[in-house]
Amino acid sequence: MRASVISENVREVLLTAEQIKDRIAELARDIERDYEGRKPLLIGVLKGAVMVVSDLARELQIDLEMDWMAVSSYGSGTVSSGVVRILKDLDTDLSGRDVLIVEDIIDSGLTLSWLKQNLESRGAASVQICTLLRKPERLKVDVPVRYIGFDVPNEFVVGYGLDHDERYRNLSDVVVLKPSAFGGSDDEISGPVEPARKVV
Ligand code: XMP
Ligand code: MG
């Protein structure tokens, strides 16, 4: 990693830029096959999904459109409540569109479950979800996700668009930070972080 001011806070690299790139190419092949002859609308959820959308969209060799939404889920601290507020809405009319929501990470699934229903209610022909990461241990609702990059352990992850207090989004890798990066003590580290697993 090049940025040393950042890398001194990194406990472990969970996914390298190369692993992410390869997996996004695989997902793109699946999406191309499924959307052949259609023109999907990729909806990126700001801000975390910016890197995923930008790499996925360039990998996809099909006609598509892109739009962006920003939502915030009410809740205490890092725990999502499922009550969602739209901070920035789409510019696109969804009637009859094939929508593909693109996310960085699914944690409880509450945000995406709400978003999927919201977009369906606007008359989209189909609404599917693509996420780079999923935390399976934390899922609370059964939201069908068609395209998933990797399952990650129940750790707070940053990089490749994911932030802690708006920092680390510019890392090329997905990493787990040291407790000291959150104001804790690195003596709390008990062992290695479980690896990320490709979802097949
Ligand atoms: P839910 O619980 O509704 O929330 O699925 C998903 C959103 O929670 C954020 N999130 C994270 N952000 N590192 C992050 O930087 C994480 O480990 C993490 N886990 C959840 C993220 O905004 C995601 O869209
Ligand atoms: Mg997000």
User: Which ligand 1 atom minimizes the distance to the CA of 152?
Assistant: 17
Domain boundaries, the chain: 4-198
Catalytic residues: 107
Q: What is the predicted ipTM?
A: 0.92
CA 37 to ligand 1 centroid distance, Å:
33
| 175 Cβ inside 6 Å of ligand 1 | no
Phi then psi dihedrals of residue 15, to 5 deg? -140, 130
The type of residue at 12 is E
| 131 Cβ inside 6 Å of ligand 1 | no
CA 92 to ligand 1 centroid distance, Å:
25
Question: Which pLDDT score, from 0 to 100, does residue 73 have?
Answer: 79
Q: Which fold has domain 4-198?
A: Rossmann fold (3.40.50)
User: Which ligand 1 atom minimizes the distance to the CA of 82?
Assistant: 3
Q: What is the dihedral of CA 165, 170, 174, 180, to 10 degrees?
A: -40
Q: Residue 134 pairs with which residues in a beta bridge?
A: 106, 151
| 162 Cβ inside 6 Å of ligand 1 | yes
The model's pTM is: 0.93
| 149 Cβ inside 6 Å of ligand 1 | no
pLDDT tens-place values along the chain, 200 residues long: 555 567 889 999 999 999 999 999 999 999 999 999 999 999 999 999 999 999 999 999 999 999 999 998 766 566 666 789 999 999 999 999 999 999 999 999 999 999 999 999 999 999 999 999 999 998 889 999 999 999 999 999 999 999 999 999 999 999 999 999 999 999 988 889 999 999 99
Which residue CA neighbors atom 22 of ligand 1 most closely? Answer: 48
Q: Which of 151, 124, 119 is nearest to 135 (CA)?
A: 151
Q: Tell me how far CA of residue 179 lies from CA of 31, 50, 164, in angstroms.
A: 37, 26, 12
Which residue CA neighbors atom 18 of ligand 1 most closely? Answer: 156
CA distance 118 to 89: 11
Question: Which pLDDT score, from 0 to 100, does residue 7 have?
Answer: 83
Pocket probe for ligand 1: among 14, 105, 133, 143, the residue whose CB has the most ligand atoms within 8 Å is 105
| 129 Cβ inside 6 Å of ligand 1 | no
E strands present in the chain:
10-15, 41-46, 65-74, 83-88, 98-106, 126-134, 147-151, 157-158, 174-177, 197-198
Question: Which pLDDT score, from 0 to 100, does residue 188 have?
Answer: 86
Cα distance between the two ends of the chain? 28
